[in-house]
Amino acid sequence: MPLDKSLYVSNVWKEGIFDNKVVFCTGGAGSICSAQVRAMVYLGANACIIGRNVDKTEAAAKDIATARQGAKVLGLGAVDVRKPEALAAAAKRCAQELGSIDFVIAGAAGNFLASIDNLSSNALKSVMDIDVLGSYNTVKATLPYLIESAKKYKTDGITPPPNGTGGRIIFVSATLHYAGTPLQSHVSIAKAGVDAMAVSVAIEQGPKGITSNVIAPGPIGGTEGMDRLSRKESRDKSAKMIPSQRMGSVKEIADATIYLFSDAGNYVNGETIVVDGGQWHTGGIDKGGFEYPDFLLSGEIVTGVAGGKKSKL
């Protein structure tokens, strides 16, 4: 049964704006990325989602396809973003079976909670490899198709493009590194690298018609990350530190995605769209109920969450 539209896309968008376009998304079975892709599919796109877990990825693809009658959504599992040859093969299959790659969402990521003194080199490397190297491999695998799409759907920013837009990439980042966040040094380092990569892509590929931007979600309710990385009893307290006084929804990330990929986002390039209700301005030292600085000074290991990590130097 199709998911209620109100859960993943706002009513402001015109149906069919992504007709005959294809979106390629790594981490596409995740809570946030699946909502981004579902919104694109509802508005006319076909899609290819990438993941390591075969069953989860294929099931997510079938579910996303219910957003629009006749939609085509490929779910390619057993694809590790750390392996460039695997991503290249996935991109090739996507273009062959769906006809193109017009939009890319680099969303694969890894996370857990750990302080630097409990973080091993291998643990840091794992996050860097998934987030930074994985995003780089995604760019390399899809760039030829994006360049072709950008050339085909060129716009002057005044005349509405008759065939829509194309040649755009979004990197899914975070706000953790803006003010600094305890227990998240590894992810902060990785996401800072992703942000820098997005700007480099914008500068180097912009003359070819490519736009490259970042969406930085804040605390989004009901997501796997929120469930794994925070204590249930602390979430209401954490929400009070957000100026908007609530957690965000996956729909709000999807809406930002549509904006950047649509005609409305033609002249936005090399930028970061923060979708966090203003949280990063006030929430840098609050992390899922682990009180600052008491928890760090206690020398305790993270417990009580599914995303804890016990590592030795």
Count the Cβ atoms, other than its own, within 10 Å of residue 11.
6
Strands of the chain, DSSP E: 22-26, 46-50, 73-76, 103-106, 168-172, 211-217, 272-275
Tens-place pLDDT, residues 234-261: 667 777 778 888 999 999 999 999 999 9
Q: Is the dihedral of CA 127, 133, 137, 139 positive or negative?
A: positive
Residues 6 or more apart whose Cβ sits within 8 Å of residue 14: 43
Give the amino acid at 278.
G
For residue 79, give the nearest of 2, 20, 27 by alpha carbon: 27
For residue 136, give the nearest of 76, 88, 95 by alpha carbon: 88
Q: Which two three-digit tokens encode residue 223? A: 């997501």
Identify the CATH assignment for 10-298 out of 1.10.10.10, 3.40.50.2000, 3.40.50.720, 3.30.420.310. Answer: 3.40.50.720
Cα pseudo-dihedral 54, 43, 93, 50, rounded to 10: -30
What pLDDT is stored for residue 215 in this prediction?
Answer: 98
Task: Point out the residues of the chain with pLDDT beneath 50.
Answer: 313
For residue 26, give the nearest of 52, 63, 7, 55 by alpha carbon: 52
Residues 6 or more apart whose Cβ sits within 8 Å of residue 25: 33, 36, 37, 47, 48, 49, 50, 104, 105, 107
Which residue(s) pair with 216 in the sheet? 274
Q: How far is CA 115 from CA 145, 186, 291, 296, in A?
A: 40, 9, 13, 8
For residue 47, give the nearest of 100, 106, 85 by alpha carbon: 100
Tens-place pLDDT, residues 198-230: 999 999 999 999 999 999 999 898 777 767 667
Report whether 34 contacts 3 (CB < 8 A). Answer: no
Q: Is the dihedral of CA 287, 290, 291, 295 positive or negative?
A: negative
Sheet holding 272-275, edge to edge: 73-76, 46-50, 22-26, 103-106, 168-172, 211-217, 272-275
Residues 6 or more apart whose Cβ sits within 8 Å of residue 180: 188, 284, 285
What pLDDT is stored for residue 6 in this prediction?
Answer: 92
Sequence ranges of the domains in the chain:
10-298
Q: Give me the DSSP letters along 149-203.
A: HHHHT---SSSPPTT----EEEEE--SHHHH--TTBHHHHHHHHHHHHHHHHHHH
Calpha distance 155→159 (Å, rounded): 7
Rounded to a whole number of angstroms, the distance between the first and last alpha carbons of the chain is 48
Catalytic residue annotation? 173, 191
The residue written with tokens 């050339």 in the block is: 151
What pLDDT is stored for residue 285 in this prediction?
Answer: 56
For residue 258, give the nearest of 67, 14, 74 by alpha carbon: 14
Radius of gyration, alpha carbons of the chain = 19
